Amino acid sequence: MINASLPELRRALDARQISAVELATLFLDRIDALNPALNAFITVDRDGALAAARAADARIAAGSAGPLTGIPLAHKDVFCTEGVLTTCGSKMLANFVSPYDAHVVSLLKAAGVVSLGKANMDEFAMGSSNESSYFGAVKNPWKLDRIPGGSSGGSAAAVAARLAPIATGTDTGGSVRQPASYCGITGIKPTYGLVSRYGMIAYASSLDQGGAFGASAEDCALLLGAMTGFDERDSTSLERPTEDYAAALAAPASGKPLEGLTIGLPREFFAEGMADDVRATIDAAIAQYRALGATTVEVSLPNAKLAIPAYYVIAPAECSSNLSRFDGVRYGHRAADYGDLGDMYAKSRAEGFGAEVKRRILVGTYVLSHGYYDAYYLQAQRLRRLIAQDFQAALQHCDLIAGPTTPTTAWALGEKADDPVQMYLSDIYTIAVNLAGLPGLSHPAGFGADGLPVGLQLIGDYFAESRLLGAAHRFQQATDWHARRPACAG
């Protein structure tokens, strides 16, 4: 059962081959055994999980189970969960127990999902390696001396090691797709606004978007379908009909299942900067797409090279505003010794925030300050518009865009800790998608020379989630990269 897909788990639960309580216990015991080495979870909610599993068993017995009823899941610790610690990977919130559920959490509870606990993450979702967490670095299940990617590294590692079959994540500049690539699983970031941000602790509000992790596109489709939906409490939530992403995968896979699909290959993604082993793996994956009937065309994203500088102006500017609420007054960490209110603010933040969070707050405050707002922030927003226009122009010539998710495989823990710019460059292929608000998906495409996973990224037009998932699903029906497991997953 550990390596079963969601449809296989659904059939086993419905046939009473295993109960939801037994399934939850199976994964909880794996967490107890493997999490000390992986550090993928910050909080394990055994009592809450078993209570939810008992409720799921009652629904199954009554014949009212849905596709996810009784399925175990890990929540990234950025989603507020009523009565359970929500730390955001920070000392600032190390003692914060949320009094309410995020919209995503509420939807998944209603679907009957069994939450196992809260997955580790880069502090306040700021990082690309999951090394900035106050609770320690997460280890990559394929090689424990490597990073799993970030900021949703705990969620990705948990799914890769089969500590949970599925997990939620968030993606601000690649934080679902990048760790999915490094950990050899599938991850999808939907169109901005499809998943409510209510109860999702904010980093950069115009970029943050909830996403889904699973071993396969099919598993991601089932999870994402339960996560989407209009939420009037989120001013950026899109009011549009929900889609059954899993049903869209049901077309026959015989013959040339991708015939008629045109995939654009941006010349900028295949220029210098990509490691040779990653390039070879991506070339082979694209050849597989052609074998399945897809045609490829060269497209251009001329402003893609400006995505990183634009992002690292806009995102820190928004974080400097969003994180001002953490002042030690109402909740979160408060310094023990201080003189007056201003001193309490300063000491609480100095003690509560880690180095990467402080770095981004300082950059954001600088670019928003008088005399620099026009020179940096407004210029970055203009670049953002140009990047979005580039994607629209490219998508006039193709149905999807494909390329590498990351320029290399996962690097060693600590290797880039003292060089944040080099770490930022690991998101070079993912950030532009967030700036444009488009959906993106990463799926396993093979392995690099070091035996570590390589992910291929698919990018679609707004609301093209079904097309992304469908293309990845056809690829996975013809290959077994998504079925490979690290040794710890047995």
CA dihedral 60, 61, 63, 69 (to 10 degrees): -10
Task: Report CA-CA distances (Å) from 122 to 37, 88, 132, 150, 185.
Answer: 17, 8, 5, 6, 19
State the virtual CA torsion across 179, 181, 184, 187 in degrees, nearest 10: 70
Contact 132, 126 (CB under 8 A): yes
Distances (CA, A) of 120 to 41, 155, 432: 5, 7, 25
Residue among 435, 472, 204 nearest 304 (CA): 435
* Six token digits for residue 281: 């793996």
Rounded Cα–Cα distance for residues 172 and 318 (Å): 12
Residues 6+ apart with CB under 8 A from 271: none
Q: What are the CA-CA distances from residue 407 to residues 82, 307, 332 (Å)? A: 39, 15, 37
The amino acid at 380: A
Stretch (H or E) spanning 236: none
Q: Residue 460 and residue 390: Cα distance in Å, rounded?
A: 13
**CA atoms within 13 Å, Cβ hemisphere of 199:** 24
Active site positions, annotated:
76, 151, 175
The enclosing H or E element of 432 equals helix 431-436
